[in-house]
Each structure stands twice: as structure tokens, then as C-alpha cells.
Amino acid sequence: MKPIFKAVPEPVESPSKELADALGLPSRGTGTPRLLIGRREWIALPELGVSPLNAKTDSGAHSSSIHAENVVLSADEKTVRFTTTNHYNETTSCNSAVARIALVKSSSGVARKRIFIETTGVLAGGFSWKILISLANRSEMLCPMLLGRRALSGYFLIDTQGAHLLGPRRQLDSFRPSANQS
């Protein structure tokens, strides 16, 4: 029978460069600690009033996207209205400033013009940061949100065998508009 080894993350007091040097691993000189996240994580978008969403982490995708329907771009292309649905199948109407409009190539190789918005994302566990998200029809996808490389870079390492490592979705229920109205 082959032995099985399990890697268990431990808190480390020394800076990551010193640790990499001690272990004989390559480093970039100014490493920063990274959060370990799973292939899917729970996320809230409080500025849009949307929570919780099951987000797929995808280091192969350059940009992030959210499922959006009924997308209406203002005549001056400075604001956008759309609807999206959270994990509880509650539909939310959202308004946001347009960050940019750009061509995005899908995994099938087809390039389409997409509207991007910038908002704050909050993960279960409390980590929050600004992310750029394109509006897309993700109705055929398992997860209504995709966190791409641009949003993940510099903050996270992905454990491809784990899911929802930062905490359960109930940690984000306080961001649900219907939960706050009771």
C-alpha cells in the first residue's frame, strides 16, 4: 500500500521570501501572503444588493462575469440597468456606472462586446475588494458568477479540490436586502 501525504497549511511568522528561501523554492522577492480559496466560493455584492452568489474561481479566465438579464445601457453609455438572481432564486434589479465596454472572447472563441462594471465583492469570511465584472448571460452555467484571473491575482491561491473554503453562505445572509428588511 502506498503512503498518502496530506498538506496542512500552517500560519507562518516569517515573510514569504524568507520562507521560500528556507525551503529552497523560487520567489519574486516581495511576496505577500495569499488566501487559499476553493474552486467555488460564496460572494456578496453589497453595492448591488446581491447576496449570496456561488462564484466559480477560474484562473484560466482573464475577466470576471455575473449573470445578467434585461440589460439596458443608457443612451450616453455611462450607466447600466440589469437584473440578476441570487442563490435563493430572488431577482434583484441593479443599477451601476459603466466602467468600460470591451470585446471579450468566450471559451468557445467567440468575441462579443460586454459591459463592465466595478463593484465591491465580499467573500464568506469577510475579505472584501474591488472587482471589475462583465455582464453576461450565464443561465446555462452552474455558477451565476465567475471570478477570473484579474480579480484573483495578488490575493488568492486556488485549491482545485476544495469548495467554499472561506465559510458557509449564511455568513453573507446579512447582505441580503430581504434579510435586512425583517
Residue 24: predicted pLDDT = 61
pLDDT over threshold 80, residue 165: yes
- Global pTM reads 0.79
Query: Strand, helix or coil at 75?
Result: coil
- List 119's β-bridge partners, or say none: 131
What are 118-138's pLDDT values in tens digits? 999 999 988 899 999 999 999
Residue 136: predicted pLDDT = 94
What are 64-83's pLDDT values in tens digits? 999 999 999 999 999 999 99
What nine digits make up the cell of 26?
523560487
CATH of domain 37-180: 2.40.70.10
What nine digits make up the cell of 53?
452568489
